[in-house]
Amino acid sequence: MEIAPELFTRAKKLKRPAVDQLFAQVYPPVVRMAKGLAEASASVMVARRDAEKNRRAVEVLGSKADAIAVDMAQEGGAAAAVAAAVQKFGSLDIVVNNAGTNIRKAPQDYSLEEWHKVLNINLTSMFLCCQAAYPHLRAQNGKKGGKIINIGSMMSIFGASFAAPYGASKGAVVQLTKSLAAAWAPDNIQVNAVLPGWIDTDLTKDAREQVSGLHEKVLARTPAGRWGLPEDMAGIAVFLSSGASDFITGTAIPVDGGYSAQG
């Protein structure tokens, strides 16, 4: 079962990234987000449990990137990841909470262990990351402020018969984002959620194999007439990490080619 990585970054000033077509075709959305942030001058710490995937990510992210092999679903994982980023970069400016997994089956067929596994990875690890990052984001060399980007899903908005715990966790991501935004606005910490649409990745390839007719249904509903590409996620990450979004907090922004606009 694939679990996506978290990102912790330090950036003084972000510029708009260039588009790297080859990178976008090879690496999943969160790593493309990291590439966009790196191109915009951020130093990036990747946190995931797979050391080999970490190594490959650092290779393409460049000399200002590093990684830590850590299981974000385990207690202490989030604190270790934040501590590694602060030790490496000296401070922390941006957190992208992206750890996620899914188990697809009918609601009546889930075990309690499967339910808890999805919620622990998708939601609890996010909360723990935000808690661990908070004291570092609120005190930046005498100037308060920071950015948190929580990755939700189209299933933050819509239901799906084959993903009850995933949908529950991703819906909760939006409500957690709003709560943190309200609580930490006085500390000049902006907390927003990004809701990716149907992005063409290995994970959604599995979904297309497991859910009959999914590919055709996504194309039919999406006004843009295509599945999203990993590179489509870079721009929103840079925007929400930059000073251009300083008065935007508590939002959930779909990046979906118009999928959610259909009602």
The 43-48 sheet, strands edge to edge: 65-69, 43-48, 6-10, 94-97, 146-151, 189-196, 252-255
Mean pLDDT of 206-213: 84
What does the mean pLDDT of the chain come to? 86
**In this model, does residue 139 exceed pLDDT 50?**
yes
Cα 105 to Cα 76: distance, rounded to the nearest angstrom:
30
Active site residues: 166
Question: Euclidean distance between the first and final Cα of the chain, in Å?
Answer: 32
> Residue 245 above 90 pLDDT?
yes
Task: Work out the average pLDDT over 140-153.
Answer: 83
Domains and CATH numbers, the chain: 6-256 (3.40.50.720)
For the residues 12-24, what does the mean pLDDT come to?
37
Do the beta carbons of residue 189 and residue 134 sit within 8 Å? yes
Query: What average pLDDT score do residues 206-228 get?
Result: 90
What's the pLDDT score for residue 27? Answer: 45
- Please tell me the number of Cα atoms within 13 Å of 112 on its side-chain side: 0
Is the predicted pLDDT of residue 62 greater than 70, yes or no?
Answer: yes
Higher per-residue pLDDT: 103 or 31: 103
pLDDT score recorded for residue 141: 56
Mean pLDDT along residues 88-108: 92
